[in-house]
Amino acid sequence: MTRVRDLSDLALRQQLARGLNLETGPFVFRIQSDETPVFTGLRRLYADFPVSDEAVADFHVRIRRPPGLRRWYHPQVRFEHDRDIPFLPLPARHAFAALEWGMNWCIAGYAHHYLTLHAAVLERNGRAVLLPGEPGAGKSTLTAALSLSGWRLLTDETALVDLKTGLLWPMARPINLKNNSIEIIQAFAPDAIFGDKAVDTHKGTVAHLKPTTDAVLRMHEPCPIGWVVFPRWLNQGGPRLKARPRADTFVFAAENSFNYSVLGETGFRTLERLIRQAECYDFRYHTLEDALASFERLAG
């Protein structure tokens, strides 16, 4: 099996130019781009991911410059999926972030053979914790810290629930950190590998954290749910884990699903099974050390 790290710089650029088949859990993305930030991001953050030789990919995506002056003057890039151009162009220096957001968009919009939820998922001792959360709740920061502390990353952004088995499937893609979270995780784990920062995006400054090699090597191992935890960072106080009603958790998860309504009764029954099997909590924390200790106790 060939992985991105096995390719020379020249080979990686050549494959990207004609289309690189990248495996991310159950999906194969055929990525085509000549943009250097895409090459750099894949080289650094996707080094452990397999490169598929299969001709068939789930998603055919491109990052390339639009026609006209914007190829050269304050150059821009755009994300393309097949013939669709779903987003406005972004500055060319944001090409890797554009690719990541576009890949998320593909999964959210098309992966209807799973129930997809806007949540991070990690695994410890054979059970998964699902971390939903409103923007600013500290979900990605906590996910990054857990993933660097013995928890296996399944996803930072989109939980994939198997419609038949109820298991959660990994993708193990890089974790998208924003603004202060970048420095917090760099201080927490100085050896962690980050991609280049993209500044002045519509989400502020963003940078992606490389997933651990173990998470990537195990990206075909699904996992049963153990817990649903709603994290919220507070500017003071000790950690507090409080039981949350399952019914309330269900409604929040349904409202934060990308395709629950598309799936109809199947979505309802899949989510019912997931929530029935999970312990549900609200979690307040201030320091990452407190949070990690709380999660250690949770995982037993």
Phi and psi of 70, rounded to 5°?
Answer: -65, -5
**The residue to which tokens 């651990």 are assigned:** 212
Phi, then psi, of 186 in degrees rounded to 5: -65, -35
Which range in 16-24, 75-83, 140-148, 245-253 contacts other proteins by CB under 8 A? Answer: 245-253
CB 232 within 8 Å of CB 226: no
E strand intervals along 97-201: 114-118, 120-124, 127-131, 152-155, 158-162, 168-169, 175-178, 198-201
What is the residue-wise DSSP string for 241-270? EEE--HHHHHHHHHHTBSSHHHHTHHHHHH
Under rule CB under 8 A, residue 255 binds other proteins:
yes
**What's the closest the beta carbon of residue 263 comes to other proteins, in angstroms?**
10
Binding flag, residue 265, other proteins (CB under 8 A): yes
Q: Is 194 in the site for other proteins (CB under 8 A)?
A: no
Tell the smallest beta-carbon distance from residue 247 to other proteins (Å).
4
246 near other proteins (CB under 8 A): yes
Residue 108 makes contact with other proteins by CB under 8 A: no
Check binding of 67 to other proteins (CB under 8 A): no
Query: Are 250 and 272 contacting, i.e. CB atoms less than 8 angstroms apart?
Result: yes
Interface residue with other proteins, options 49, 151, 230, 250 (CB under 8 A): 250
Q: Which stretch binds other proteins (CB under 8 A): 52-60, 137-145, 201-209, 258-266?
A: 258-266
- Segment near other proteins (CB under 8 A); pick from 79-87, 133-141, 202-210, 269-277: 269-277
Closest distance of CB 260 from other proteins, Å: 8
The residue count for binding other proteins (CB under 8 A) is 17
Let me know how long the chain is: 300
Among 272, 287, 289, 293, binds other proteins (CB under 8 A): 272
- Backbone torsion region of residue 128, taken as left when φ is above 0, otherwise alpha when ψ lies between -120 and 50, otherwise beta: beta
Q: Which is nearer to other proteins, 134 or 272 (CB)?
A: 272
- The answer to whether the beta carbons of residues 60 and 81 sit under 8 Å apart is yes
CA-wise closest residue to 142 among 289, 288, 297, 286? 288
Nearer to other proteins, 250 or 295 (CB): 250
Query: Judged by CB under 8 A, does residue 6 bind other proteins?
Result: no
CA gap 12, 262 in Å, rounded: 38
Does residue number 275 form part of the binding site for other proteins (CB under 8 A)?
yes
| Site for other proteins contains 191 (CB under 8 A) | no
The binding site for other proteins (CB under 8 A) comprises 245-248, 250-251, 254-255, 260-261, 264-265, 268-269, 272, 275-276
